[in-house]
């Protein structure tokens, strides 16, 4: 999108004000649709609305990204995680250990998000590794400590 800003004069102050306004529009948390929790420099949870302890992040930042307070960095294993894999629901659920499946069943009794993810998984004819619902559900399991980030990545990308 191209915008033509008409300047009443060519003053440096006018240019600085416009530059600051443009920069504010690019980084303003109020305009972001991606809010994250960062733990020890790693994004551990994401959501689309601001919430306590969440900070605004660029739209492409997801769980597993690194943040040093200034720069967002995609971890090296994320590129590998992008390889699309497809399983039957049964085969996908078998990728979890019995202990992990029991933890999901237990959490589903008290957490509607886990119950919904479990229901969608069991109803699916196939589970696709890069499906947004699958990724959101897996990220949520990491956020509530049912899975570690490494285990999530192993389930989605491992053999």
In this prediction, residue 28 carries a pLDDT of 43
In a domain, residue 15? The reply is: no
The answer on 143 and 91 residing in a single domain is yes
Dump pLDDT digits (tens) for 66-122.
888 888 887 766 555 557 889 999 999 999 999 999 999 999 999 999 999 999 999
> What are the tokens at 116?
């919904």
Q: What's residue 60's pLDDT? A: 80
Q: Which of 82, 108, 95, 74 is nearest to 151 (CA)?
A: 95
Alpha-carbon dihedral sign for residues 130, 109, 112, 58: negative
Structural domain includes residue 7: no
* pLDDT at position 76: 65
Provide the pLDDT for residue 158.
75
Count of domains for the chain: 2
* Inside any domain, residue 14: no
The answer to whether position 44 is within a domain reads yes
| Best CA proximity match to 96, nearest among 147, 149, 40, 150 | 147
pLDDT confidence tier of residue 17, bands split at 50, 70 and 90:
very low
Across-strand partners of 35?
47, 56
The answer on 133 and 94 residing in a single domain is yes
Distance CA 28, CA 47 (A): 16
Residue 22 lies in a domain: no
Q: What percent of the chain has pLDDT over 90?
A: 40
């Amino acid at each position: 999108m191209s915008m033509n800003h008409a300047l009443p004069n060519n003053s440096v102050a006018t240019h600085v004000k416009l530059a600051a306004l443009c920069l504010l529009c690019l980084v303003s948390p109020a305009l972001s649709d991606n809010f994250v929790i960062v733990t020890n420099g790693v994004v551990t949870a994401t959501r689309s609305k601001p919430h306590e302890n969440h900070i605004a992040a660029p739209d492409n930042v997801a769980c597993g990204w690194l943040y040093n307070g200034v720069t967002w960095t995609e971890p090296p294993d994320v590129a590998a995680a992008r390889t699309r894999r497809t399983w039957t629901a049964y085969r996908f659920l078998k990728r979890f250990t019995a202990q992990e499946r029991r933890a999901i069943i237990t959490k589903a009794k008290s957490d509607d998000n886990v119950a919904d993810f479990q229901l969608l998984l069991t109803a699916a004819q196939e589970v696709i590794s890069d499906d947004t619902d699958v990724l959101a559900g897996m990220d949520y399991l990491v956020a509530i400590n049912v899975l570690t980030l490494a285990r999530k990545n192993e389930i989605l990308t491992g053999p």
